[in-house]
A = this chain, B = another copy of it.
């Protein structure tokens, strides 16, 4: 469980090694809104992202497209305060309980919607069924 890649053994870091990182060193992370219990998004973390998330109490993901840490809200202001972290039975998925900051009503999605899960399957079509709360151009140029 401990050891790892070139890092001296530090028992305090065992919780990080107990996560089953995939071949890319990543783990899927679900963000669920405190209160509403809405599932807002799913993204990925590497060890450093998870460590920063815990240290800061704010969600820090790992962007697979940019191959870099992604402090959620760094541009949009739509920061996620993290209240709780859960690990699943196979140790390979993390669930965050968060408060989505920066806009009322809260916006987690880069499209300006509350949740990233805004497309519903109806009669073999994925239909957008949730409103845009703020124009993404306004989110990312301010």
Residue ranges of A at the interface with B (Cβ–Cβ < 8 Å): 12, 14-15, 18, 28, 30, 32, 36-39, 41-42, 54, 84-91, 93, 95, 109-111, 113, 116-121, 124-126
Question: In whole angstroms, how far apart are the Cα atoms of A125 and B13 in the complex?
Answer: 9
Cβ A84 vs Cβ B37 within 8 A? no
Partner of A42, one of B38, B41, B88, B119: B88
Known: A30-B30, A126-B15. A42 touches B121 (CB 8 A): no
Residues of B within 8 A of A41 (CB): 88
Q: Is the interface of A mostly helix, strand, loop or mixed?
A: mixed
Residues of B within 8 A of A42 (CB): 28, 30, 42, 88, 93
